[in-house]
């Protein structure tokens, strides 16, 4: 009789301990998601500031060509401006495209983090947004290759800083592939969740 009594309380204690662990894990995950959301907002604002600064300096260089000497983060494109206005304009467009695409990635991640639900994480919307992020990452990789080609064509004219910015990096391609795979896993999770709901 006393063994049944002890067993009953151990079972109750075990259930409450398990539920406390699950709640603690959920709150830790929610805190981590909030921190990630803040970091992503900071990255989004940073990318937009970088793209905006490049565009403002480009507009200023149309009025005063020497303004192209003070381009954001050092790439002095004054030599490109002297080489040819269209070459300079293409370089600026390429330099602006990368932070804009990074900002678009950050924006998609912000939407994912704000709409993410821990109780049912597999939604078609999250899967589609992950696919968009993968496509944007692939686009950044392609843009960096185009920047490499452009800086190669203008070799001896473009600054080393402009060429350094043009490193496509295999990690971008790997990240795009990984995000695409994760989006497919999310799609499969949605399908399985729908099948389970139908069988219930």
Give the pLDDT of residue 3.
46
Whether residue 92 is contained in a domain is answered as: yes
Q: How many CB atoms lie within 10 A of CB 93?
A: 13
More confident residue, 19 or 61: 61
pTM for the whole structure: 0.74
Give the pLDDT of residue 160.
47
Give the pLDDT of residue 4.
47
Whether residue 156 is contained in a domain is answered as: yes
Give the pLDDT of residue 170.
66
- Measure the CA–CA gap between 123 and 190, rounded to whole angstroms: 6
Tens digits of per-residue pLDDT, 149-192?
877 777 555 554 455 455 556 677 788 888 888 888 888 887 88
Give the pLDDT band of residue 17 (cuts 50, 70, 90). very low
Whether residue 160 is contained in a domain is answered as: yes
Whether residue 20 is contained in a domain is answered as: no
**What number of residues does the chain have?**
200
Total tally of structural domains belonging to the chain = 1
Residue 152, domain extent = 39-199
- Measure the CA–CA gap between 167 and 173, rounded to whole angstroms: 12
Give the pLDDT of residue 41.
93
* Contact assessment for residue 91 and residue 143, using Cβ atoms and an 8 Å cutoff: no
Whether residue 31 is contained in a domain is answered as: no
Give the pLDDT of residue 42.
94
Whether residue 5 is contained in a domain is answered as: no
Tens digits of per-residue pLDDT, 29-83?
788 888 988 999 999 999 999 899 888 888 888 887 776 666 654 455 667 777 7
- Measure the CA–CA gap between 168 and 176, rounded to whole angstroms: 13
Tens digits of per-residue pLDDT, 94-150?
888 989 999 999 999 999 888 877 777 777 888 888 889 999 988 988 888 888 787
Whether residue 134 is contained in a domain is answered as: yes
SS (H, E, C) the chain: CHHHHHHHHHHHHHHHHHHHHHHHHHHHHHHHHHHHHHHHHHHHHHHHHHHHHHHHHHHHHHHCHHHHHHCCCCCCCHHHHHHCHHHHHHHHHHHHHHHHHHHHHHHHHHHHHHHCCCCCCCCHHHHHHHHHHHHHHHHHHHHHHHHHHHHHHCCCCCCHHHHHCCCCCHHHHHHHHHHHHHHHHHHHHHHHHHHHHHHC
Whether residue 106 is contained in a domain is answered as: yes
């Amino acid at each position: 009789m006393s063994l049944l009594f002890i067993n009953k309380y151990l079972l109750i204690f075990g259930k409450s301990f398990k539920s406390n662990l699950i709640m603690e894990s959920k709150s830790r995950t929610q805190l981590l998601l909030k921190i990630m959301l803040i970091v992503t907002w900071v990255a989004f604002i940073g990318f937009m500031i970088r793209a905006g600064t490049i565009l403002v300096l480009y507009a200023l260089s149309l009025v005063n060509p020497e303004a192209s000497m003070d381009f954001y983060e050092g790439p002095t494109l004054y030599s490109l401006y002297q080489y040819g206005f269209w070459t300079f304009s293409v370089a600026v467009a390429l330099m602006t495209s990368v932070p804009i695409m990074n900002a678009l990635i950050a924006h998609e991640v912000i939407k994912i983090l704000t709409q993410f639900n821990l109780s049912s994480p597999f939604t078609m919307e999250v899967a589609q947004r992950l696919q968009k992020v993968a496509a944007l990452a692939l686009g950044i990789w392609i843009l960096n290759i185009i920047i490499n080609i452009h800086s190669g064509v203008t070799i001896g004219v473009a600054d080393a800083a402009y060429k350094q910015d043009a490193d496509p990096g295999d990690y971008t391609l790997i990240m795009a592939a990984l995000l695409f795979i994760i989006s497919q896993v999310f799609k499969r999770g949605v399908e399985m969740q729908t099948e389970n709901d139908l069988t219930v």
